Structure 1
Amino acid sequence: MFELPSGAEIQGIIASLKASVGFFIPEIYLSVLFMLLILVDLVAKGRKNNLLSITTLLGLAGSVVFIYQQDSLPAGELFFGMYVLDEFALFFKYFSVFSGMLAVIVTMADEQFEREVKSMGEYYALIVAMVIGMIMMASSADLLMIFLSMELVSFTAYILTGYFKRDARSSEAALKYLVYGAVSSGLMVYGFSLIYGLTAQTNLIKISAELATHGYDPLLMILATLLILAGFGYKIGAVPFHFWTPDVYEGAPTPITAYLSVASKAAGFALLMRFFYVAVPHGGLPYEDILGFDWLSLLLILSVASMIYGNVVALWQKNVKRLLAYSSIAHAGYLLLGVILINKIGTQATLVYLLSYFLMNFGAFYVVILISNKTGSENLDDYRGLGKRMPLAGAALTVFLISLVGLPPTVGFYGKFMIFLALLDKGSLYIWIALIGIMTSVISLYYYMLIPLNMFLRESKQPDDRNMNPGMTAQILMAFLMFLTIFFGLFFTPLSDFAMHSSSMFGITFPVK
């Protein structure tokens, strides 16, 4: 018979919730910012788009203070184990907030919003909502919280992708994104239900303990983890869950394309690592064989397939955004190389790579926006001769593309160097995997360099005397991002130290080699 909790138990629950709320301040603050933006949109008059963008930037910057205050707090579980606070989660909180800020800045530079959208209130509010969702994804330690946070990010992403309602490409991208997202979410939830059926637990740490103590049905565990991997694979855009990526990246507003390719992918990797490192320990460590099924080999295959497919298919792309979409698939493969190592060096390398990808990919998309403002095109052939008319944009884009290839002295070189170094440290088998990564990077050199080749070494087919100056503010930001890309390629210790500090994950003890 069901028994109501006693007064003492209720008081204990209330006290636990109060204690947890004290560690939830950044999320509460951002939720207030979300509502404030809607209110400002309703009451402000005149040039309220500028007011909204500035309010969003200042509001997101303010959240950094609250996140910084959490850095000195001990790692632990919140809200009865549904949420965790640790160095790993804090890394992605910073990452999500700064990605949101840069997405706002890039949006302010995109002139298409002025032509297509009258009011930006909902847009900036959705950006903040997506930041909240990504922060919650990184801290989720429970199947229910994982699903809720992923859906918050997904629903806002669907709306933002189709924000240009009169643009057929944007509407098509949003519809495809919604359909693929619904299917992947359904598969993931079915996998969660199987895990719950096996363990009667939703907390990742308790799931791990239950599986280790009482065992499991191997075939059912294989099916559950494959279904869950489909959901996570969709979020990170890895092969074979990548089908949405090219069309969505091409059709979405360019700031949203940049945001999805960096921040959403990073949040997906945060979830992937926390789930597989914490919840699936078989024989004491993740990825060991289950009935002869090697999870390490499975993720390795996904990684190699993503690197090869993304880089090879990008060779034939003529639209720059679509080219960068396939590039994003390839970079998901490089990031997976760090994940499959299951040690602190691999985790550190993955975090360093995400930081480098943040700088170079946002920088590349920012320049693409500035060029699109002046030319009205994202076609590769329309980049001919732009190096002479937009010299700083050409130089900055070249630096970002060199960094995406992974060449010195850029931050992208250090990111890939860390990944390959971690692979070589693991053993002789991984030397071949590192060689595949290097060879696919060589392939990427060809299609990345087609862009500066057109900009600097080919003349435009049609003479154009339009003013191509993007403006002083845009040039300053371009130069700043280009400077950071080179600076952290030469002086990479701060990134390395930050990633090392952030690689500690609550609920997992990495094996000592």
Structure 2
Amino acid sequence: MTDLSTYTTDLIKSFEFFKPETTLTATIILTIIFDLIFKKSKHISGYVAIIGIVIAGIFLHQQTGVEYKAFANLLVIDDFGVFMKYIILLSSLIIIIFTFYSKELHPGKPRLGEYFTLMMGMTLGMFLLVGSANLIMIYLSIEIMSISSYVLAGYTKEIKRASEASLKYVIFGAASTGIMLYGISILFGLTGSLNLFNINQYIASGNVDDMPLFVSSLMIVAGFGYKISAVPFHFWTPDVYEGAPVTITAYLSVASKAAGFAVLLRFFKTGLVDPSSGTLETWNLIGNIDWRYVLIVISILTMTLGNLVAVWQNNMKRLLAYSSIAHAGYMLMAVAVLNDNGATAVLIYFFFYMLMNLGAFFIVQLIANKLDTEDIDDYAGLGFRSPVLGVCLTIFLISLTGLPPTAGFIGKLYVFTSVINAGFVWLAVIGVVNSVISLYYYIKVVRNMYLRQNEHFQSKLTYSPTEILIVLMLAIPTLFFGVYFTPIVEWANLSVNILVNK
């Protein structure tokens, strides 16, 4: 007879570690209530969301150093998950602040309660996804974040391209989810379990054929690939990024991608790594499938296509969309080595990528507020019309290229180092060549800002001190961490531990 007290004890302890998610759930409810009560305030729900994020961050800090399998192994709490959840929280906080200064979201809308509610719903879904250790939990988490993001992508429904973006996002999302679910059903049929820990044990017993295991796992990875915009699951990215509000585009490019990479790494290490192989710093995969080369192929295709197509873009949001695809390719290089050094490199890269990419998108938003354009040609003379924005955008673009002395250089340095140490020097060379290609389209923007003049736009662009301060708060760390990056590297080294069978 099963002891009920065991389940009760586990449930109580699990809820103790579920405080950040509980806080986000309460915040979702409160944003709705405050929006209904304070109808004359546009941003009251945003302030509530900020308070909820801060409280969730405090509870998240209490989980540092904790290793626990909660709710009967549905969710896990570990340092890796905590790191990724901080990236998601910081991104959410920054995007909410961006929203306060977005003219795109305000015309015809007396308040934005639904917007902030959906944002918090998306944040909750990403939190659950980062810690999921059960395939059905992974699916449900993806659906929670996806449904919110579908609506947010088309939030400015009076703009035709926003509705088009939302529809395309839904269609591609449904297709990727269907593929992933089919893979989950096959894997369940092979192993008799949906829990990654149990799946790991069953595969290790040698009772699973390699081919159906490969097919099912590849289908599941396809679902993750959709979230991280990896080729060939990237088709939605340019149109959705261009059509969605700038704030949501920036949010999808960082937070959603972070959640996707987190679940991808957890799937491989928790589900497919042999825990009895001695040191877990090098991940020895169960079975005869060499996933390294599968991931390497996806990585090369992703960064090459992203960079080559970005060269031809004239719209700044589409350019950053293809740039985002390329950066997913760089991070997949580190994932492909399947060891702790690669996972550490992904964490380091993500933190720096958050700063430089969100900074670039905020400047795109500020320029669109004044000029009502996202065309790169209209950036001509911007460096003289708004010197602070011109300099900061240059810093962000140089960092995205991966040049010193910016944080982006440090991120790529650790990615390439992890690849070289794993013996894939040729892959690092391909990554460097792609970085050189990316320099062309980033510098094209800088050239327009400083070496060309626009006959239609000659007046100075002025921005509020708060807007300038936000830009500087992202630009200064981008430079600072390019010189002094030790704290982030140490944090990533301490957070690389992903919970496995022991």
Q: TM-score normalized by structure 2?
A: 0.96
1:71 pairs, out of 64, 74, 87, with 64
Alpha-carbon offset, residue 287 of structure 1: 5.0
Shift of 1:58: 2.1
1:264-313 residue CA offsets vs partner (Å, 9 max, x unmatched): 001000000000122123796555763xx532111100001111110011
Q: Which residue of 2 aligns with 1:443?
A: 437
Matched with 1:142 is 134
Output one character per residue of 1:414-445: Cα deviation in whole Å (capped at 9) or x when no partner: 00000111112112xx1111011001100000
Say yes or no: does 1:45 pair with 2:42.
Answer: no
Give the whole-Å Cα distance in 1 for the aligned partners of 2:228 and 2:185.
Answer: 22
Q: Does 1:350 align with 2:346?
A: yes
Name the SS of the counterpart of 2:373 in structure 1.
coil
Please say if residues 320 and 378 of structure 1, whose CA atoms lie closer than 8 Å, have aligned partners that are also in contact.
yes
Aligned letter for 1:459?
Answer: Q
Q: Distance in 1 between matches of 2:252 and 2:314?
A: 21
User: SS at 1:132's partner residue?
Assistant: helix
The question of whether the paired residues in 2 share the 8 Å contact of 1:245 and 1:325 is answered with yes
Q: What amino acid is aligned across from residue 149 of structure 1 in structure 2?
A: S
Cα distance in 2, alignment partners of residues 491 and 33 from structure 1: 36
Whole-angstrom distance in 1 between the partners of 2:382 and 2:59: 43
2:272 is the alignment partner of 1:269: no
Confirm whether residue 497 of structure 1 aligns to residue 490 of structure 2: yes
Matched letter for residue 329 of structure 1: I
Instruction: Kindly report which structure 2 residues correspond to 1:241-252, keeping only aligned pairs within 5 A, or say none.
Output: 241-252=233-244
Is the Cα contact below 8 Å between 1:258 and 1:362 reproduced in 2? yes
Residues 345, 415 of structure 2: 8 Å contact kept: yes
| Corresponding residue SS for 2:404 | coil
Aligned to 1:303, which of 291, 299, 302? Answer: 299
The AA in structure 1 aligned to 2:429 is L
| CA positional deviation for 1:242 | 0.4
Aligned match of 1:418: 414
> Match of 1:63, as an amino acid?
A
Q: Deviations along 1:111-168, whole A, 9 cap, x unmatched?
A: 1111153321011111111111111111001111111111111111101001011111
Alignment partner, residue 196 of structure 1: 188
Q: What corresponds to 1:3 in structure 2?
A: none
Corresponding residue number in structure 1 for 2:455: 461
1:28 is aligned to 22
Contact 1:187 1:227 in 2 (8 A): yes
Pair 1:377-2:369 in alignment: no
What do residues 384-412 of structure 1 show as CA deviations (whole Å, max 9, x unaligned)? 11111111111110000000000001000
Query: How has the CA–CA distance of structure 1 residues 352 and 463 changed in structure 2, closer, same or farther, with 3 Å as cutoff?
Result: closer
Q: Is the contact made by 2:91 and 2:255 (CA closer than 8 Å) also made in structure 1? A: yes
Give RMSD over aligned pairs.
Answer: 1.5
- Residues 246 and 469 of structure 1, relative CA distance in 2, 3 Å threshold: same
Secondary structure of the equivalent of 1:378?
coil
Letter in 2 for 1:461: E
Return the letter of the residue paired with 1:190. Y
Q: Distance in 2 between matches of 1:318 and 1:309?
A: 17
Does 1:16 find its partner at 2:10? yes
Which residue is equivalent to 2:400?
404
- 1:288–1:295 CA contact under 8 A, matched in 2: no
Partner residue, 1:324:
320
Q: In the alignment, does 2:129 pair up with 1:129?
A: no
Structure 1 residues 451 and 26: CA distance shift in structure 2, 3 A: same
Once the two structures are superposed, residues 234-276 of structure 1 have per-residue CA deviations (whole angstroms, 9 ceiling, x without a partner) of 0100111100000000000000000000000010000000001
State the Cα distance separating 1:327 from its structure 2 match.
Answer: 0.5
CA deviations over 1:63-106 (Å, ceiling 9, x no partner): 1111111114x302010011101001111111111110011011
Q: In the alignment, is the contact (CA less than 8 A) between 2:203 and 2:286 conserved in 1?
A: no
Identity of aligned residues (%): 43
Question: Aligned in 2, Cα 1:287/1:299: closer, same or farther, shift over 3 Å?
Answer: farther
Q: 1:172 to 1:200 in 2, by over 3 A?
A: same
Structure 1 stretches lacking a partner, 5+ long: 1-5
The residue number in structure 1 matching 2:143 is 151
**Residue aligning to 2:310:** 314
Q: CA shift at 1:214, angstroms?
A: 4.3
Q: Alignment length, in residue pairs?
A: 496
The residue type equivalent to 1:228 in the other structure is I
Deviation at 1:316, TM superposition (A): 0.3
Q: Is 2:72 the counterpart of 1:80?
A: yes
One-letter amino acid of the counterpart of residue 485, structure 2: F
1:114 alignment partner, SS class:
coil
